[in-house]
Protein backbone atom coordinates (compact mmCIF):
# COMPACT_ATOMS: atom_id res chain seq x y z
CA UNK A 1 0.00 0.00 0.00
CA UNK A 2 1.31 3.65 -0.59
CA UNK A 3 0.42 7.20 -2.07
CA UNK A 4 -1.27 9.49 -4.76
CA UNK A 5 -0.13 11.48 -7.79
CA UNK A 6 1.23 10.98 -11.29
CA UNK A 7 3.45 8.04 -12.35
CA UNK A 8 6.86 8.05 -10.73
CA UNK A 9 8.45 5.01 -12.37
CA UNK A 10 10.95 5.03 -15.23
CA UNK A 11 14.19 6.77 -15.99
CA UNK A 12 12.61 9.59 -17.96
CA UNK A 13 9.39 9.98 -15.99
CA UNK A 14 8.91 13.42 -14.47
CA UNK A 15 8.70 13.34 -10.68
CA UNK A 16 5.65 14.86 -8.97
CA UNK A 17 6.14 17.24 -6.11
CA UNK A 18 6.77 15.26 -2.90
CA UNK A 19 3.65 16.74 -1.31
CA UNK A 20 1.58 15.15 -4.07
CA UNK A 21 2.97 11.70 -3.35
CA UNK A 22 2.09 11.16 0.30
CA UNK A 23 -1.11 9.17 0.09
CA UNK A 24 -1.80 5.53 0.84
CA UNK A 25 -2.70 4.55 -2.73
CA UNK A 26 0.24 6.01 -4.62
CA UNK A 27 2.05 2.67 -4.79
CA UNK A 28 -0.48 1.63 -7.45
CA UNK A 29 1.03 4.24 -9.79
CA UNK A 30 4.63 3.33 -8.92
CA UNK A 31 4.44 -0.43 -9.49
CA UNK A 32 4.06 -0.11 -13.25
CA UNK A 33 4.44 -3.16 -15.50
CA UNK A 34 8.06 -2.45 -16.48
CA UNK A 35 9.07 -2.11 -12.80
CA UNK A 36 7.22 -5.27 -11.78
CA UNK A 37 9.00 -7.18 -14.52
CA UNK A 38 12.34 -6.07 -13.08
CA UNK A 39 11.41 -6.65 -9.42
CA UNK A 40 12.85 -10.16 -9.29
CA UNK A 41 16.11 -8.76 -10.64
CA UNK A 42 16.19 -6.57 -7.55
CA UNK A 43 15.21 -9.34 -5.16
CA UNK A 44 17.30 -12.19 -6.67
CA UNK A 45 15.39 -15.15 -5.21
CA UNK A 46 18.40 -17.45 -4.91
CA UNK A 47 20.57 -14.94 -3.08
CA UNK A 48 17.74 -13.85 -0.83
CA UNK A 49 16.96 -17.46 0.06
CA UNK A 50 20.57 -17.97 1.17
CA UNK A 51 20.75 -14.83 3.32
CA UNK A 52 17.28 -15.25 4.81
CA UNK A 53 17.71 -18.96 5.42
CA UNK A 54 14.87 -20.75 7.21
CA UNK A 55 14.02 -17.81 9.48
CA UNK A 56 10.32 -17.41 8.66
CA UNK A 57 9.78 -21.11 7.99
CA UNK A 58 11.29 -22.13 11.32
CA UNK A 59 9.47 -19.36 13.17
CA UNK A 60 6.08 -20.42 11.85
CA UNK A 61 6.76 -24.11 12.48
CA UNK A 62 7.94 -23.43 16.03
CA UNK A 63 4.66 -21.61 16.65
CA UNK A 64 2.68 -24.52 15.20
CA UNK A 65 1.16 -22.45 12.40
CA UNK A 66 -0.21 -23.99 9.21
CA UNK A 67 -2.43 -21.47 7.41
CA UNK A 68 -0.71 -18.27 6.32
CA UNK A 69 -2.01 -15.10 4.68
CA UNK A 70 0.71 -13.25 2.78
CA UNK A 71 -0.76 -9.73 2.59
CA UNK A 72 2.22 -8.25 0.69
CA UNK A 73 2.81 -11.01 -1.83
CA UNK A 74 4.72 -8.90 -4.36
CA UNK A 75 6.12 -11.25 -6.99
CA UNK A 76 5.62 -14.24 -4.71
CA UNK A 77 9.00 -14.91 -3.09
CA UNK A 78 7.75 -15.66 0.44
CA UNK A 79 4.52 -17.26 -0.72
CA UNK A 80 6.39 -19.78 -2.86
CA UNK A 81 8.98 -20.52 -0.16
CA UNK A 82 6.24 -21.20 2.39
CA UNK A 83 4.20 -23.32 -0.03
CA UNK A 84 7.27 -25.42 -0.74
CA UNK A 85 7.80 -25.78 3.03
CA UNK A 86 4.32 -27.27 3.38
CA UNK A 87 2.25 -24.30 4.54
CA UNK A 88 -1.26 -23.54 3.27
CA UNK A 89 -0.77 -20.01 1.88
CA UNK A 90 -3.20 -17.45 0.53
CA UNK A 91 -1.48 -14.72 -1.48
CA UNK A 92 -2.83 -11.20 -1.25
CA UNK A 93 -1.64 -7.89 -2.69
CA UNK A 94 -3.19 -4.55 -3.50
CA UNK A 95 -1.49 -4.38 -6.89
CA UNK A 96 -2.80 -6.52 -9.75
CA UNK A 97 0.49 -6.38 -11.67
CA UNK A 98 2.37 -7.86 -8.71
CA UNK A 99 -0.19 -10.61 -8.16
CA UNK A 100 -0.11 -11.61 -11.81
CA UNK A 101 3.68 -11.86 -11.67
CA UNK A 102 3.48 -13.88 -8.45
CA UNK A 103 1.05 -16.32 -10.06
CA UNK A 104 3.38 -16.62 -13.05
CA UNK A 105 6.38 -17.24 -10.78
CA UNK A 106 4.49 -19.84 -8.79
CA UNK A 107 3.33 -21.66 -11.90
CA UNK A 108 6.92 -21.73 -13.23
CA UNK A 109 7.86 -23.60 -10.03
CA UNK A 110 4.97 -26.04 -10.27
CA UNK A 111 2.52 -24.30 -7.93
CA UNK A 112 -0.91 -22.79 -8.49
CA UNK A 113 -1.11 -19.94 -6.01
CA UNK A 114 -4.33 -18.88 -4.30
CA UNK A 115 -4.30 -15.16 -5.08
CA UNK A 116 -6.64 -12.40 -3.95
CA UNK A 117 -6.36 -8.71 -4.77
CA UNK A 118 -7.37 -6.73 -1.71
CA UNK A 119 -6.83 -3.39 -0.03
CA UNK A 120 -5.60 -3.90 3.54
CA UNK A 121 -8.06 -1.32 4.85
CA UNK A 122 -10.96 -3.54 3.73
CA UNK A 123 -9.11 -6.86 3.89
CA UNK A 124 -11.86 -8.95 5.47
CA UNK A 125 -14.31 -7.94 2.75
CA UNK A 126 -12.27 -9.92 0.23
CA UNK A 127 -10.53 -12.55 2.39
CA UNK A 128 -12.55 -15.47 3.74
CA UNK A 129 -11.82 -17.33 6.97
CA UNK A 130 -9.26 -16.92 9.76
CA UNK A 131 -5.53 -17.62 9.57
CA UNK A 132 -2.87 -18.95 11.90
CA UNK A 133 -0.45 -16.29 10.72
CA UNK A 134 -0.28 -13.16 8.59
CA UNK A 135 2.99 -12.00 7.05
CA UNK A 136 3.49 -8.43 5.85
CA UNK A 137 7.06 -8.34 4.54
CA UNK A 138 9.28 -6.41 2.14
CA UNK A 139 8.90 -3.05 3.92
CA UNK A 140 5.34 -2.96 2.57
CA UNK A 141 3.61 -1.54 5.64
CA UNK A 142 5.53 1.70 5.20
CA UNK A 143 3.57 2.37 2.00
CA UNK A 144 0.79 3.63 4.30
CA UNK A 145 1.15 7.37 4.79
CA UNK A 146 -1.97 8.23 6.79
CA UNK A 147 -2.20 7.43 10.50
CA UNK A 148 -5.82 6.35 10.11
CA UNK A 149 -4.84 3.91 7.34
CA UNK A 150 -2.20 2.24 9.52
CA UNK A 151 -4.74 1.80 12.31
CA UNK A 152 -7.34 0.49 9.89
CA UNK A 153 -4.97 -2.02 8.31
CA UNK A 154 -3.80 -3.42 11.64
CA UNK A 155 -7.40 -3.75 12.82
CA UNK A 156 -8.13 -5.77 9.67
CA UNK A 157 -5.03 -7.94 10.19
CA UNK A 158 -6.03 -8.60 13.81
CA UNK A 159 -9.57 -9.57 12.78
CA UNK A 160 -8.29 -11.99 10.11
CA UNK A 161 -6.20 -13.94 12.64
CA UNK A 162 -7.35 -16.85 14.76
CA UNK A 163 -7.46 -16.29 18.51
CA UNK A 164 -3.82 -17.43 18.88
CA UNK A 165 -2.56 -16.12 15.55
CA UNK A 166 0.61 -14.15 14.90
CA UNK A 167 1.46 -11.22 12.68
CA UNK A 168 4.97 -10.94 11.22
CA UNK A 169 5.64 -7.44 9.94
CA UNK A 170 8.94 -5.95 8.81
CA UNK A 171 10.26 -2.45 8.10
CA UNK A 172 13.45 -0.76 7.09
CA UNK A 173 15.62 0.76 9.82
CA UNK A 174 14.26 4.25 9.34
CA UNK A 175 15.60 5.25 12.77
CA UNK A 176 19.10 5.14 11.37
CA UNK A 177 18.11 7.05 8.24
CA UNK A 178 16.35 9.82 10.13
CA UNK A 179 18.96 10.15 12.85
CA UNK A 180 22.06 10.01 10.63
CA UNK A 181 20.71 11.70 7.47
CA UNK A 182 23.67 10.13 5.70
CA UNK A 183 22.20 6.75 4.97
CA UNK A 184 23.58 4.07 2.70
CA UNK A 185 22.39 0.48 2.75
CA UNK A 186 24.33 -2.59 1.75
CA UNK A 187 20.89 -4.26 1.29
CA UNK A 188 22.67 -7.55 1.91
CA UNK A 189 19.66 -9.18 3.50
CA UNK A 190 16.58 -8.12 1.57
CA UNK A 191 17.64 -6.71 -1.77
CA UNK A 192 20.25 -9.12 -3.01
CA UNK A 193 20.51 -8.27 -6.69
CA UNK A 194 24.18 -7.40 -7.11
CA UNK A 195 23.66 -5.23 -10.20
CA UNK A 196 20.83 -3.12 -8.78
CA UNK A 197 21.30 -0.16 -6.44
CA UNK A 198 18.58 0.89 -4.00
CA UNK A 199 19.03 4.06 -1.95
CA UNK A 200 16.94 7.04 -0.81
CA UNK A 201 17.21 10.11 -3.04
CA UNK A 202 14.85 12.13 -0.84
CA UNK A 203 14.53 11.83 2.93
CA UNK A 204 12.14 13.88 5.05
CA UNK A 205 10.47 13.26 8.39
CA UNK A 206 7.35 12.04 6.58
CA UNK A 207 8.76 10.75 3.29
CA UNK A 208 11.54 8.38 2.22
CA UNK A 209 11.69 8.17 -1.56
CA UNK A 210 13.88 5.32 -2.76
CA UNK A 211 15.46 5.20 -6.19
CA UNK A 212 16.19 1.86 -7.86
CA UNK A 213 18.80 1.91 -10.63
CA UNK A 214 19.05 -1.09 -12.98
CA UNK A 215 21.93 -2.18 -15.24
CA UNK A 216 20.04 -1.22 -18.40
CA UNK A 217 19.98 2.41 -17.27
CA UNK A 218 16.35 2.47 -16.16
CA UNK A 219 15.37 3.97 -12.81
CA UNK A 220 12.26 3.67 -10.69
CA UNK A 221 11.04 5.22 -7.46
CA UNK A 222 9.03 4.06 -4.45
CA UNK A 223 7.71 6.34 -1.75
CA UNK A 224 7.54 5.15 1.86
CA UNK A 225 6.64 6.69 5.21
CA UNK A 226 9.72 6.42 7.50
CA UNK A 227 8.25 4.60 10.50
CA UNK A 228 10.36 4.38 13.62
CA UNK A 229 10.79 0.97 15.26
CA UNK A 230 9.25 1.85 18.63
CA UNK A 231 6.30 3.58 16.97
CA UNK A 232 5.43 0.36 15.11
CA UNK A 233 5.78 -1.75 18.26
CA UNK A 234 3.51 0.65 20.16
CA UNK A 235 1.02 0.64 17.30
CA UNK A 236 0.84 -3.16 17.42
CA UNK A 237 0.14 -3.06 21.16
CA UNK A 238 -2.59 -0.49 20.62
CA UNK A 239 -4.38 -2.99 18.40
CA UNK A 240 -4.35 -5.79 20.94
CA UNK A 241 -1.12 -7.65 20.22
CA UNK A 242 0.26 -8.28 23.70
CA UNK A 243 3.54 -10.10 23.06
CA UNK A 244 5.85 -8.44 20.54
CA UNK A 245 9.37 -9.62 19.74
CA UNK A 246 11.53 -7.54 17.40
CA UNK A 247 14.40 -9.02 15.40
CA UNK A 248 17.01 -7.22 13.34
CA UNK A 249 18.24 -8.80 10.11
CA UNK A 250 16.96 -12.22 11.29
CA UNK A 251 18.67 -11.98 14.68
CA UNK A 252 17.59 -10.87 18.14
CA UNK A 253 17.57 -7.09 18.16
CA UNK A 254 20.32 -6.56 20.72
CA UNK A 255 22.79 -8.69 18.76
CA UNK A 256 22.98 -6.44 15.71
CA UNK A 257 23.83 -2.75 15.57
CA UNK A 258 22.41 -0.59 12.79
CA UNK A 259 20.55 -3.39 10.97
CA UNK A 260 19.01 -2.89 7.53
CA UNK A 261 15.60 -4.20 8.65
CA UNK A 262 13.51 -4.81 11.76
CA UNK A 263 11.11 -7.75 11.94
CA UNK A 264 8.23 -7.57 14.45
CA UNK A 265 6.55 -10.79 15.55
CA UNK A 266 3.27 -9.92 17.28
CA UNK A 267 1.10 -12.51 19.01
CA UNK A 268 -2.66 -12.14 19.25
CA UNK A 269 -3.01 -14.76 21.98
CA UNK A 270 -4.43 -13.29 25.18
CA UNK A 271 -2.08 -13.29 28.14
CA UNK A 272 -3.72 -12.44 31.48
CA UNK A 273 -1.84 -10.05 33.77
CA UNK A 274 -0.55 -11.52 37.00
Residues forming the active site: 31, 138, 143, 172, 191
Give 139's contacts (C-beta < 8 A, 6+ positions apart): 170, 171, 172, 190, 224, 261
Q: If we measure between CA atoms, which residue out of 131, 140, 138, 61 comes closest to residue 90? A: 131
Distance CA 230, CA 164 (A): 23
Phi then psi dihedrals of residue 266, to 5 deg: -115, 125
Q: If we measure between CA atoms, which residue out of 63, 70, 71, 78 comes closest to residue 94? A: 71
Antiparallel, parallel or unpaired: β 219-224 and 207-213: antiparallel
The long-range contacts involving 34-37, CB below 8 angstroms and separated by at least 24 positions, are 34/9, 34/10, 34/218, 34/220, 35/9, 35/10, 35/212, 35/220, 36/75, 36/95, 36/97, 36/98, 36/101, 37/101
Distance CA 266, CA 189 (A): 21
Amino acid sequence: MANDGSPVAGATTEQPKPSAAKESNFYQKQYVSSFVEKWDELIDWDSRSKTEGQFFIDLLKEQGKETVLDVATGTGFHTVRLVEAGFDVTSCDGNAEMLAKAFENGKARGHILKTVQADWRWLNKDIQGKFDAIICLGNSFTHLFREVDRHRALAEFYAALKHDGILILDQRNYDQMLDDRDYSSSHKFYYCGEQVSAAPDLLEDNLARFKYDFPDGSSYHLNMFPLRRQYVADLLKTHGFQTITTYSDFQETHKTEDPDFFIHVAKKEYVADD
